[in-house]
Structures are given as C-alpha cells and as structure tokens.
C-alpha cells in the first residue's frame, strides 16, 4: 500500500477535504494531492509525520511503512529518533536492525552512531534494546570491537538487576575474553565491577582475582578503588585468611579515599573472626553510632551475630528495639538487601527460640521476601523451613494467613 492510499483512507474517515487537511496540517494542498495520487510515493518522513498527526494515523503504522521501503541514512535516523521518543522497544529494535542491514559497507559508521545514541538515551530499556541489537549483529557479522563495546555497556546496566545477579555476572564474564578491545580505563572498570559483583554473590575467590587484576592496572586513586580494597579485605576475611585480610586493610587505610569508620568496621570483623568478641562488640557499637543511617545495616547484622555467639540475649533485645535506627530506607544495592534479609532471619530465629512466635514468623517472612528479590531461593526456602519447623515444634496448626503468604512467595 502506498502512503498516499493510507492518507486518503484516513482523510475520508475523518470526513476532510484536501483543503481542510492542508489547513489543519500546514502541508500545502498541492503536496497532499501529489501524495494521494501516488506521484510522490515517499514524502519526507517529517512531512509524513505531520500529516499523520493531523489525521491521527498511528505513529507505528507510519514508521513501519517507511521501514519497508527506505534506504536513506537520514530517514533511518529520523525513524529511530521517533521510535525512541515513544519508548517503543519493538520499533526501536526493528529500526536499528533494518538500519544495520541496509548499511552494507558502511556498517561500522552505523554501529558507531547507534552506540552514541544508546549512550545518550535516558530510558534504560531502550538502551538495552539498542545494545542487544548491536550485540546480535556484530556477533553474526564478526565485528569484535563493537561487539565488545556493546557487551560492556549492557553489562554495566544489567548488573543492577538484583533478581538476576548470577545470570548477569556469568554474562558479564564474557568480557574477560575480549579485554584487548577495551580502553585501559574500561578494562579496569570491568575488573572492578565484576569483582564487586562476584563479592555480592559470595564468589570470594573470583572477587579477589578480578579486583586484584584491576588494582594492578589502575594507576589512579578513586572511591571505586577504595571500595574494591574493602571488598578484597572482606573476601579474604570470609575465606578465613585473616593475615592477608589485614594486609589489604592496611592498604585501604593508606588510600586517600578511605573512610575511618569503614576501616574500624573491618577491624571489628577481624576481632570477631579471631573470637575476640568483647573487642569486636566495642568496635561494632562505635561503628554503628558513627555510620550514616544507610550504612548501618551491615554493621548491625555483624554485631547481632557476635552477640548471639556470645550469648548476650539482653543486648540482642536492645538491638532489636533500636532497629529503626539502622534499617535502610533505600534498598538500592544487593548488599543492602542481603544484609536486611539476614537481619530479619537473625531476629526471626532469636524470637522463635525465645517463644515470641508471631514476631518470629513475621520476621522470617520478611527475610524470605528479601531473599526472593535477590533470587536467592536457597535462603528463601531456609526461612520457610524454619517457619514450618516452628509450627511443628509448637504443635500449633499453621494459619491460613501464613499458608497464603508462603504460597505467594513460592509462586512469584
């Protein structure tokens, strides 16, 4: 179907004469007549868009019409801009794919244009759509430079999808095979982001490997590098390597971007690992008092663990009563969500063991829901198992309300 036929059909549907359409659209009657007669088979896209707006022709129909016929670079750019402005992922994908397929020998120029457009686009889903188109095309066409650039940019977005942490980490690791195509600062960023990602997943050996490789190449000092030093210190601590952990803690303390309270917090963790519980509790309490509200949850969970290990039930109750002073208001990192889940699990176990059935069960449900957000179904099921065990030991019948809540968790 010609564009003129589409215009004529919609004009008759709106019961408009050519003169009336010309007046409403601002496009001259003579141009409209040439379009409807087929003399002008493909008007400029800007003209078609103006006419379509006046006749209420869906923008998708206009874009799909032009995609079927155009080979003009400027038209593809206009179609892509229109698709992006409407945040239509399907049209963005179709337009970008057709643009690349029509480019032939100029595909590198088009790829560079799409890469810049993707970086400048605010809407995250649209950016991901463009990167996925480029990844698929460059993989098939054997263009490694733009394949790696698109892979790199996609990873930096997808790593924040907390429900798919392990999946996005494994996808991101593909970058390690193509590091020669990245700029030095991009290579360092890749190592750092993968290292912190591995740390969030508790893949401590991999976290250490990635982070240390990044540090080896990084000639600068930054807040990100300081965060990486913290992650390495914690990773060694979790592996029971207290001596190496302490060495990296000293390196962190010499970093110009260090935070004194973070260093104190790590020192407290080292005390706890060495079973110097009194010193650990003292340091954790100072850390908790001095930390910003959003940074307190990790400290609180570590403090509670030490108090539970040391049998300090009264101090555990005091901490629970003060939970509003450390529970985060913004759950914007996987670690915050993980520590919040752990806190509610600790609290739930403590309450259940001390005959506070209702509070304990509610805390376990809260914990399970946070683990579900992280896609950590093993921990989620552990919480549910502890709830069921509590009902069995108490010889109480599980209520319909709790059954429905558990069912909802398991089905999401």
User: Residue 76 burial by CB count (10 A; 0-12/13-18/19+): exposed, middle or buried?
Assistant: buried
Largest distance between two CA atoms of the chain = 90
For residues 124 and 111, give the distance between their C-alpha atoms in angstroms, rounded to a whole number.
19
Nearest to 378 by CA among 354, 353, 345: 345
Separation in Å, CA 33 to CA 19, 38, 62, 139: 10, 9, 18, 46
Q: First CA to last CA across the chain, in angstroms? A: 46
For residues 153 and 26, give the distance between their C-alpha atoms in angstroms, rounded to a whole number.
42
pLDDT at 172: 97
Give DSSP secondary structure letters for 122-141.
--HHHHHHHHHHHHHHHHHH
For residues 233 and 225, give the distance between their C-alpha atoms in angstroms, rounded to a whole number.
12
pLDDT at 21: 87
For residues 283 and 267, give the distance between their C-alpha atoms in angstroms, rounded to a whole number.
8
For residues 106 and 77, give the distance between their C-alpha atoms in angstroms, rounded to a whole number.
14
- The two three-digit tokens of residue 408, written as one number: 């909802």
Looking at 310-396, list the stretches that DSSP marks H as alpha helix, in order from N- to C-terminal side.
313-321, 334-353, 357-374, 377-394
Q: Which residue has the tokens 């996609």?
A: 154
pLDDT at 386: 94
pLDDT at 202: 92
pLDDT at 7: 86
pLDDT by 10s per residue, the chain, length 412: 778 888 888 889 889 888 888 888 898 899 999 988 888 888 888 888 898 888 888 888 889 988 988 888 999 999 999 999 999 999 999 999 999 999 877 899 999 999 999 999 999 999 999 999 999 999 999 999 999 999 999 999 999 888 899 999 999 999 999 999 999 999 999 999 999 999 999 999 999 999 999 999 999 999 999 999 999 999 999 999 999 999 999 999 999 999 999 999 999 999 999 999 999 999 999 999 999 999 999 999 999 999 999 999 999 999 999 999 999 999 988 889 999 999 999 999 999 999 899 999 999 999 999 999 998 999 999 999 999 999 888 888 888 888 888 888 888 7
- The two three-digit tokens of residue 98, written as one number: 């057709």
DSSP structure class, residue 41: S
pLDDT at 66: 87
For residues 364 and 370, give the distance between their C-alpha atoms in angstroms, rounded to a whole number.
10
**387 neighbors 406 (Cβ within 8 angstroms):** yes
For residues 363 and 347, give the distance between their C-alpha atoms in angstroms, rounded to a whole number.
7
Find all residues with CB under 8 Å of 64, minimum gap 6, and list them: 91, 94
Nearest to 75 by CA among 55, 48, 52: 48
pLDDT at 394: 86
In Å, how far from its chain's centre is CA 380? Answer: 21
Nearest to 209 by CA among 186, 222, 225, 228: 228
Find all residues with CB under 8 Å of 48, minimum gap 6, and list them: 3, 62, 65, 66
pLDDT at 46: 85
Nearest to 396 by CA among 360, 357, 346: 357
**47 neighbors 18 (Cβ within 8 angstroms):** no
Helix (H), strand (E) at residue 232: helix 223-238
pLDDT at 109: 95
For residues 160 and 154, give the distance between their C-alpha atoms in angstroms, rounded to a whole number.
11
Enter the pTM of the model.
Answer: 0.77
């Amino acid at each position: 179907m010609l564009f003129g036929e589409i215009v004529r059909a919609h004009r008759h549907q709106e019961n408009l004469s050519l003169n009336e359409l010309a007046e409403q659209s601002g496009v001259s009657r003579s141009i409209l007549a040439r379009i409807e007669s087929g003399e002008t088979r493909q008007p400029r896209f800007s003209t078609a868009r103006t006419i379509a707006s006046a006749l209420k022709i869906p923008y998708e129909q206009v874009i799909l019409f032009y995609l079927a016929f155009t080979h003009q670079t400027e038209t593809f750019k206009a179609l892509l801009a229109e698709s992006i402005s409407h945040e239509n992922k399907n049209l963005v994908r179709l337009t970008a794919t057709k643009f690349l397929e029509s480019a032939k020998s100029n595909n590198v120029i088009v790829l560079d244009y799409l890469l810049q457009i993707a970086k400048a686009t605010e809407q995250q889903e649209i950016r991901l759509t463009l990167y996925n188109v480029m990844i698929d095309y460059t993989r098939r066409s054997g263009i490694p430079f733009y394949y790696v650039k698109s892979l790199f940019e996609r990873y930096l977005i997808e790593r924040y999808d907390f429900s798919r942490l392990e999946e996005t980490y494994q996808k991101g690791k593909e970058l390690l095979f193509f590091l020669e195509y990245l700029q030095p600062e991009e290579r360092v960023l890749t190592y750092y982001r993968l290292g912190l990602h591995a740390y969030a997943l508790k893949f401590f050996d991999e976290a250490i490997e990635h982070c240390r490789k990044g540090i080896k190449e990084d000639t600068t000092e930054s807040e990100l590098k300081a965060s990486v030093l913290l992650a390495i210190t914690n990773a060694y601590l979790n592996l029971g390597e207290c001596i190496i952990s302490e060495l990296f803690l000293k390196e962190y303390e010499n970093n110009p971007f260090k935070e004194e309270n973070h260093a104190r917090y790590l020192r407290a963790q080292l005390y706890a690992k060495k079973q110097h519980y009194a010193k650990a509790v003292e340091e954790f309490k100072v850390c908790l008092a001095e930390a910003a509200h959003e940074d307190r949850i990790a400290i609180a969970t570590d403090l509670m663990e030490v108090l539970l290990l040391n049998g300090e039930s009264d101090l555990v109750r005091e901490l629970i009563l003060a939970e509003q002073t450390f529970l985060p208001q913004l759950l914007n990192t996987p670690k915050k969500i993980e520590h919040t889940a752990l806190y509610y699990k600790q609290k739930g176990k403590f309450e259940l063991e001390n005959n506070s059935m209702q509070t304990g069960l509610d805390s376990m449900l809260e914990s399970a829901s946070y683990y579900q957000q992280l896609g950590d179904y093993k921990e989620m099921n552990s919480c549910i198992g502890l709830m069921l065990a509590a009902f069995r030991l108490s010889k109480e019948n599980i209520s319909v309300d709790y059954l429905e809540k558990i069912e909802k968790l398991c089905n999401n």
